[in-house]
Structure 1
Amino acid sequence: MPGFDPFRDFDRLLSDVTRTPASVAMPMDLYRTGDDFVAHIDLPGVDPASIDIDMDGATVTVRAERKLPVDSDVQWLTRERAAGTFARQLTLGRGLATDRISASYSDGVLTLTIPVAETAKPRKIEVQHTSRSNEIEGSVEESQQEG
């Protein structure tokens, strides 16, 4: 039977009180490149089959699970890596092609690529013009001849 370790018990109590927020368990970088927004979400040690991405309205929810080794002989000395099921939500603005979002997972990083919708891309509007200079010149000439 292991002896009393006040630091281990205090650490366990503290970790129970301060549950790991998603931003710590699933840190993310988000940037825009050209016509795409790209999110890189760190998910080291996660089984790729446990990754679940749902779209509900303008909200993307990413869920993943990291399991601890299950061994009855384990006596933890330090346990700093968060385990369990984690979720992170992204609320998307208008002007994104949510039907074309893609996801890939490589080397412990989930990458979401969110394209900008064609209708939201900047575009040039051509100005139509007609030349009416003959009519104006004719009326000016007539005015000068009369005067």
Structure 2
Amino acid sequence: MTATFDPFREFASLAGAFADSPAGPRKMPMDLYRDGDTYVLNADLPGIDPGSVDIDVDGQLLTIRAERTVSSGDGVKWITRERGTASYVRQLSLGQGIDTEMISASYDNGVLSIMIPVSERAKPRKITVNSVSAESAPELNDVASA
């Protein structure tokens, strides 16, 4: 009988234990994409009460916070408890060209969706080119000859 040794298995287990430690915030996996003139951020927050989600915009910094609490009724005798309380925090720099006044959010089936619209000033637009003739703009000729 041969035994195989994987030196990274124990390291991965140890790293996972530190990553999910109750002392600090947990991971909040997310997807971010642009759909037309809106950025859409979808973050996984399973088991979160939507009332505990707090989204702040301070300048160009978007901060998402959420808490998962475990309710235990009177007389509850736990057999196993792997889903403890958790804190989630994620911060993103929005950059320029975002309409921070129109950001909206919704929560459905454990996924927090944040709609981040592009500001009107940052949207692509056509610039009209006007023709100026020498006769209709004498002040331009005066400046050029001076």
Deviations 1:40-92 (A, max 9, x none): 11111101110111111111111111123436621327x2x563121111110
- Between 62-71 and 30-39, report the one with greater CA deviation: 62-71
Whether 2:76 is the aligned partner of 1:75: answer no
- When the two structures are superposed, what TM-score results if normalisation uses the length of structure 1? 0.68
8 Å CA contact retained: 1:25, 1:82: no
The amino acid that maps onto 1:103 is A
- Aligned pair partner of 1:115 in 114, 117, 127: 117
Q: CA separation in 2, counterparts of 1:18 and 1:25?
A: 8
Report 1:51-90 matches (<5 A): 51-70=53-72, 73-76=77-80, 79=82, 81=83, 83-90=85-92
- State how far apart, in whole Å, the 1-side matches of 2:15 and 2:57 are: 36
The structure with the largest helix share of the pair is 1
Looking at structure 2, the residues matched to 89 and 119 of structure 1 have their Cα atoms a distance apart, in angstroms, of: 24
Structure number with larger C-alpha Rg: 1
Listed as ranges, the gaps of 5+ residues in structure 2 are: 1-12, 135-146
Runs of 4+ that moved beyond 6 A: 11-14
Structure 1 counterpart of 2:106, which letter? S
Kindly state the Cα deviation for residue 18 of structure 1 after the two structures are TM-superposed: 3.2
**1:109–1:14 Cα change, 3 Å:** closer
Match of 1:27 in 2: 29
Assess, with a 3 A threshold, how the Cα gap between structure 1 residues 30 and 47 changes in structure 2: closer, same or farther: same
In structure 1, distance between residues paired with 2:127 and 2:88: 46
Query: How does the TM-score come out when normalised to structure 2?
Result: 0.69
- Choose which of 124, 127, 132 in structure 2 pairs with 1:125: 127
Over the matched positions of the two proteins, sequence identity in percent amounts to 47
Residues in 1 aligned to 2:106 and 2:63: alpha-carbon distance in whole angstroms: 15
Residues 97-120 of structure 1, C-alpha deviations (whole Å, 9 max, x = no match): 011101111111111001101111
Q: How many residues align?
A: 118
> Once the 2 structures are TM-superposed, how far is the Cα of residue 19 of structure 1 from its aligned partner?
3.6
- Gapped regions of structure 1 (runs ≥ 5): 1-10, 133-147
* Structure 2 partner of 1:18: 19
The counterpart of 1:98, out of the listed 89, 97, 100, is 100
Secondary structure in 1 aligned to 2:56?
strand
